[in-house]
Structure 1
């Protein structure tokens, strides 16, 4: 069972330590989201891997007519919707399979503090959270990697006792910078939507080609 004073590791490390492409991709994510180290990337990947595993298993059980699987599938979709990685309505188990690490990392408190215009950089957002300048749901939160739900997102604010509440604070972000952050977030969302649309079109075209090939083969016979 292990020593109860030491929690079990909640993430999986890469199967091979020296993979150039993977290392480059991890460095990009660390810099983009202001992460402390690659461990935070691996945690996001483990969460995503768990969601995908549940989705595949539930789809197989649904095809076999398992009634309990429908209840568990709804619970999984509600959970993903609650943390903001899937839309509130219209999501399916297949949508979970298209999620990426960015979807999980974008829901971290550190990322949202930056995107809300409360910090000029993601690095500053992390420092503000660790130093206790951020409130959420009326409580101080000092964990940059906390996954924020849709309902908690609107409650993110400066600690009432924080000097950042003073608009003249020298480290307070300007309105122009806040607008730039909002524009950056919008462009990322548009890029992600375009990427998913392109993948959907590619899948549809491939399915169409496959159907045509099958029809041609039947005609030849």
Structure 2
């Protein structure tokens, strides 16, 4: 525990200036990002994913659809995630998180903020429940809530609810990196989310040019397997609307 606290303190001091005021514009209210999906230590491309978001009148809706190719689809690498809820100056507040995965029953997490509880269900049956507090997120809303951590430049602690469990997580800034994504060089802010006592290990890169949208997400499981999603196309705001309505 002492080592963890020392690590957080050092990270906070080193990253206070990670995102100067005015360094990134507000993200577009709607759009989508296409990702190339790579898996394993060798980084072989196994499929593609599409992430859509929409923020409107104090509410948000997020989706992630991952389509695997070949045998990868048979090993659970084909699914759709959906997160919806409210949004304000403090960020996202999930109400419902859903996962549809090939070959499995639908799973969902229902957030009851009035009671401070979340219910994790599979096929309509509750499998687990627990307490939630202000600021807690689901696995998909985390991608966008990470912006708030980047803006503060300080580590943050909150629960991340998945379709199976509730993980007490730390999200910490890791500095800036320039990545070649979507056919261009992007200046990004990198964040790392990890659970103190559980198998949560996610790196998120946010693009300054695109209002700190998530342009790369790398997930490492408890066996060392790596799922790396790298943006291949970004359509935000007016560009996204034009792409949907070419005529």
Fold shared, TM-score > 0.5 on shorter chain: no
- The structure in which a higher percent of residues are strand is 2
Band the TM-score falls in, shorter-chain normalisation = under 0.3
Given the two structures, how large is their TM-score scaled by the length of structure 1?
0.22
Q: Which has the larger radius of gyration?
A: 1
State the TM-score, normalizing by the size of structure 2.
0.21
Which one scores higher on RCO, CA 8 angstroms, separation ≥ 6?
Answer: 2
